Amino acid sequence: MEGDDSIFLCECGKVVREEIREDTFKDYINTSRNPSTRTTGHRNCGLIFNFVDGKWPKKYSSKKELKTLAATFAEINELSSEETGKFLLEVDRFKSCGKLSDDEILVYAYQNVLKYKSAKSTGKPLL
């Protein structure tokens, strides 16, 4: 999730990349900040995201669906095969908790892979 790329998980289960115009559309909605706030919608399902008011949809997929999303997420973020394996294990571990939504699982698992990458490159042990 580096740079200006906005990547998020839609309620329909697809990973959405805001900079890919085929994935998104722009729209204006009424929010607590402004009656005409610019936002993003997902072309696949038509869902319009309200990032201002924190009304973020929660999705709880099956283990199989989540693994498919995780593989797509790993590909988008250009993880190596070793990092992808670590990422999928982390996703599985977080899914086993049974309390987290898909987007929380993917973010936490990705953060752990980034920590792993950082520790590997600096030679520091991971605790």
- The predicted-structure confidence for 33-75, as pLDDT tens digits, reads as follows 888 888 888 888 888 887 787 766 677 888 998 999 899 888 8
Do the Cβ atoms of 57 and 82 come closer than 8 Å?
A: no
Count CB-CB contacts under 10 A for residue 49: 21
Least confident stretch, 5-19, 25-39, 82-96: 5-19
Amino acid 82: pLDDT = 93
Span 68-102, pLDDT tens digits = 989 988 888 889 999 999 999 999 999 998 889 88
Q: Which residue has the higher pLDDT, 8 or 67?
A: 67
Answer yes or no: are the C-beta atoms of 119 and 125 closer than 8 Å.
Answer: yes
**Which residues does 61 contact at the CB level (< 8 Å), separation at least 6?**
13, 69, 102
Look at residue 50 in the predicted model and tell me its pLDDT. Answer: 78
**Residue 122, token pair as written in the block:** 């600096």
Q: How far is CA 3 from the centre of its chain?
A: 15
Query: 12 CB contacts (<8 Å, ≥6 apart)?
Result: 42, 44, 45, 47
Residue 92 near residue 70 (C-beta atoms within 8 A):
no
Rounded to 5, what percent of the chain is helix, strand, coil? 40, 15, 45
